[in-house]
Amino acid sequence: MNMTELAPAGLTSEVAVAAIGNRYDLVLVGARRMRELGRGDLPKIALKQRHSPAVTALLEIEAGLVTRDYLFKETEVAPRRRNKSY
């Protein structure tokens, strides 16, 4: 079955867990990729319909396009800093 043919409601993270190694790292990698997609990065996988960043990130992980190496990737955007003027 092709990964792009899966319905979002039918997604399970078991394939993604197997691709990354464990659930904790899956959450970290998925969250980082979701933030990138939310900022406007293009998906690395061809999709027939538009999905949320969470579903797109999981599909990319399951397809092997996003790997555990994302944990060690340098961030290209400086983290936001809170304004401490209360």
Q: Has this prediction a pTM greater than 0.95?
A: no
Q: What does the alpha-carbon distance between residue 31 and residue 5 come to, in Å, rounded to a whole number?
A: 23
Q: What does the alpha-carbon distance between residue 34 and residue 16 come to, in Å, rounded to a whole number?
A: 14
**Model confidence pLDDT, tens digit, residues 5-14:** 544 545 667 8
**Model confidence pLDDT, tens digit, residues 12-27:** 678 889 999 999 999 9
Q: What domains are defined for the chain?
A: 12-72 (3.90.940.10)
